[in-house]
Each structure stands twice: as structure tokens, then as C-alpha cells.
Amino acid sequence: MVIATGTLLLALPVASETGQPVKIVDALFTATSATCVTGLITVDTPTTYSLFGEIVIMALIQTGGLGFMTLSTLVALLLGKRITLKERLVMQEALNQLTVEGVVRLSRYVLFFTFLTEGLGALLLGLRFSRDMPPGQAFYFGVFHAVSAFCNAGFSLFSANLMDYRGDLLVNLVITALIILGGLGFSVVADVYTKRSWQRLSLHSKIVIRTTMWLIIIGTLMFLALEYTNSKSLAPLPLGEKVLASYFQAVTPRTAGFNTLNIGDLRPVTLLLIIILMFIGASPGSTGGGIKTSTFTTIAVAVWSIIQGKCDIEIFGRRLPRGTVLKALAVASVSLLLVVTVTGIMLVTEQEEMEIILFEVVSAFGTVGLSAGLTPQLTVAGKLLITATMYSGRVGPLTLAFAIAQRLGRQGIKHYPEEGVIIG
């Protein structure tokens, strides 16, 4: 319904820069991309849409981002741990407790946190942009980009995205801070706010924060190493700008979709790095997509434990429940299957190398919105596939969580005898 309203509004003549109404299919694509905070575009935002159109887009991003964040936080709180029998009993209490007032209160906290963060970001960005344009426009640009960054949407009012601010420390830091805060998930932010001590944080918060930190550090260093001598990207830049651009490009695939370098100019191996980062994505209960940081770390820790021959999967002095590991395995496997299947089909429908197709598919799956250049040349079948992948990537993990939770309890308690199988 939000998408339908958005499409209608964007198709009005008043939403268009030229007065000539935007094509309905492009209006639909833009509305969907904005509401799903993906950021893929078929038409250039600033030159196609008027001020009115841009504000509609911003409203759609904000609605989509907030709605998804609240909804996914709720689902995460309600169903996140609902796997083991013991937890299922605890959960039923929680379900009884979480009444309409509870949801309203949660939504109010989410709203407050969102507007506070976006407001601060908008103010800083506005001050910076006012050096390049009139103050009114500067603060409007500040608000738009703050909303787009916090909601991990990746829409920009600059036709060159943020490439012109590649070397600007303030813009880089503010945008990445908004992306990271939006991508941590509300429950983590709330946990940090209430506990104010690393030791007392929940295991989930510790994993999310530590994973996010290491992904950014390792991503930055690898990007820097791989692109250092690439004359089309980092080579011509001074050292500080090299580091800053590497940092920005390491943050943005998970899952903001802004860019300060041209993605199409990067080396194949760097595209592979970005594909991996996009696949991992942001954290649960956030505006971002992907399989999620907690899923990735759960699998990594499980694999490391089993290689060491440990029966327990341990991290930060806690044991991960069996259900958590299995759920992570399910989410990662289904996601991989989806990405590989869509890539396979698109190898038939599109005339392009596998790497470029894979990049586009993972970008759509993680609602990242980065493109190595394929989006504009997609065939009709390709457009439909990418749209379906975007949608699956957006609602998939949530639906999966719901489905798992709903079927729990329905099964009988019959246990089959156990028997081992030879692996590897």
C-alpha cells in the first residue's frame, strides 16, 4: 500500500523535474526501491524528480526503514530465540507480556532513536554542504542524505552519488556513522544505552558489535591492499584519501549502497570481496539486509569449535544453543541456494560474465543497491528476477523466522533413534 501510494505520487506531473510525468514503470521501480531501502535506480534521482518527488522518496525511505526496523526488532525479540523447548516456554510468557502497549512503546523508542540520530547527522551534513550551496538547499540535502544513510537506502541527490566527497573527512565519518548505527539493529543500540558496560551486554550485542568492528577493519585493510595500485581507483589518490575511500567502501556494502569510488572500475578480486561483504550484510533488527552479522559469526564460531573438536559452541564465555547454530545454517544455506539459483538463471537470460551477474544478484539479495554496471542493461527477465530477489532478500529471513516459529510446537514428540553418518 505504501508502494502503491508512492508510485501514484511519483507519477504525478508535479513530482517530475521537467513537468512531463515520469513513466509509471519507473515510478513503481523507484517507489519499490525506496520503500525496500535497496537503492537500485533506473532513473537518475536529482535530474528526474522535482523537490516534491524527492521528498516523496525520502518519506518512502523513512517509512520503509522505520517499518522494517520496528517489525524486524519485534520479530527478533519475539522469535529470535524461540528454538529450544526451554526457550519456547519462556517465549510464551513473553508473548503474553508483549501487548499492544508494548509494541507502541517499542515503536516510540525506535522513532525517538531514529529521529535523534538522523537529526544530528542532518545538522552536520547540512553545515558541510552549505559550503557548496545555499543554506536552505544544504540543510535539505543534509536531511535527505542522513535519512538515506541511517535507513541504509543509498539514495543520493547527487548524480555521482558521494564520489565528489571522496576525500571529505566530515561527510565520510557522518555518513558511515549513520550507516553503522542504522545497521546495528535497534535491540543492540538499546542494550548499549541501558547497560553502558561491555561485560553486561547481551551475547547478541557483543557478537554484533565485535563482528561489525572486525568486518570493517578487515574490509578496509583488504580493500586498501587490493586496490592500492589500481590506477582507476586508489592509485592516483593521496595516502589519507586512499585509507578514507577504503574505509567507506568497506562500510557501504553492508548494506548501505552509497559509493565514493566507481564500482565498475574496481578489480575482479575486489568485487569478490564486496560480494562477500554484501552477502554477510547488516545485523538483525536493523534496516539492512544480508544473512546478518550474527548468522555469519555463529557459523564461523561453530566451524572453529568443531575443528578444535569441542562439543560446545562457545563464544564470549557463553554456549550457543544448538537451535541457534542450526538456524544460522538454515539462513546461510537458503540464502546461498537463492543467490546461486538466480545467478544460474541469469547466466541464461543475460549476456554477461558470471562475476558481474553474481555481484548484481547479491546486491539485490542484500538490498545493498551497489552495481558493477549491469542494472541499466538488464533484459526484462533479468529485471523481474532482480526485483524478485530484492523482495526475497528483504522479507525472506523474516518470513523464514516466522515459518520456523509457527511450525514449532505443531510437530509430534516422537523421537527417532539416533544414527551417525560419515562426513568428509
Q: How far apart are CA 337 and CA 216, in angstroms?
A: 26
Decide if residue 231 touches a copy of itself (CB under 8 A).
no
Asked whether position 420 contacts a copy of itself by CB under 8 A, the answer is yes
Hey, which residues between 358 and 397 contact a copy of itself (CB under 8 A)?
A: 358, 397
Whether the CA torsion 251, 256, 258, 263 is positive or negative: it is: positive
Return the amino acid letter for 293: T
In the complex, minimum distance from the CB of residue 348 to a copy of itself, in angstroms, rounded to a whole number: 5
Q: Per CB under 8 A, does 87 bind a copy of itself?
A: yes
Using CB under 8 A as the binding criterion, the count of chain residues that bind a copy of itself stands at 91
Q: Which is nearer to K ion, 117 or 286 (CB)?
A: 286
Which one of 343, 363, 367, 387 is in contact with a copy of itself (CB under 8 A)? 343
Longest CA–CA span in the chain (Å) reads 74
Q: Of these, 2, 267, 373, 383, which contacts a copy of itself (CB under 8 A)?
A: 267
Closer CB to K ion, residue 6 or residue 39? 39
Of the residues 285, 288, 382, 393, which one makes contact with a copy of itself according to CB under 8 A: 285
φ/ψ of 319, rounded to 5, equals: -100, 130
Report helix, strand or coil for 114.
helix
Residue whose CB is less far from a copy of itself, 46 or 323: 323
Which of 32, 81, 143, 171 is in the footprint of a copy of itself by CB under 8 A?
Answer: 81
The C-alpha cell that represents 365 in the structure block: 539479495
Positive/negative CA dihedral, 26, 29, 35, 40: negative
154 binds, among a copy of itself, K ion, none (CB under 5 to 8 A by kind): K ion
> Which long-range CB contacts under 8 A does 136-140 form with residues at least 24 apart?
none
CB of residue 289 to K ion, shortest distance in Å: 7
404, 327 contact by CB (below 8 A)? yes
The mark string for 247-286 relative to K ion (x by CB under 5 A, - otherwise) is ----------x-----------------------------
Q: Which does 257 bind (CB under 5 to 8 A by kind): K ion, a copy of itself, none?
A: K ion
Cell matching residue 50: 522535482
C-beta of 34 vs 271, nearer to K ion = 34
Q: How far apart are CA 107 and CA 67, in angstroms?
A: 9
> Is the four-CA dihedral 11, 16, 22, 27 of positive or negative sign?
negative
Residue 321 contact among a copy of itself, K ion, none, beta carbon within 5 to 8 Å by kind: a copy of itself
Q: Which does 324 bind (CB under 5 to 8 A by kind): a copy of itself, K ion, none?
A: a copy of itself
The DSSP secondary structure of 297-365, one letter per residue, reads HHHHHHHHHHHTT-SS-EETTEEPPHHHHHHHHHHHHHHHHHHHHHHHHHHHHS-S-HHHHHHHHHHHH
CA distance 282 to 180: 8
For a copy of itself, which is the closer residue by CB, 13 or 195?
195
| Site mask for a copy of itself (CB under 8 A), range 288-327, x = bound | ---xx-xx--xxx-xx-xxxxxxxxxx--xxxxxxxxxxx
Which residues, at least 6 apart from 335, have a Cβ–Cβ distance to it below 8 Å?
A: 279, 291, 365, 396, 397
Enumerate residues 363-422 that contact K ion by CB under 5 A. Answer: 369
Residues forming contacts to K ion in the complex (CB under 5 A) are 39, 152, 154, 257, 369
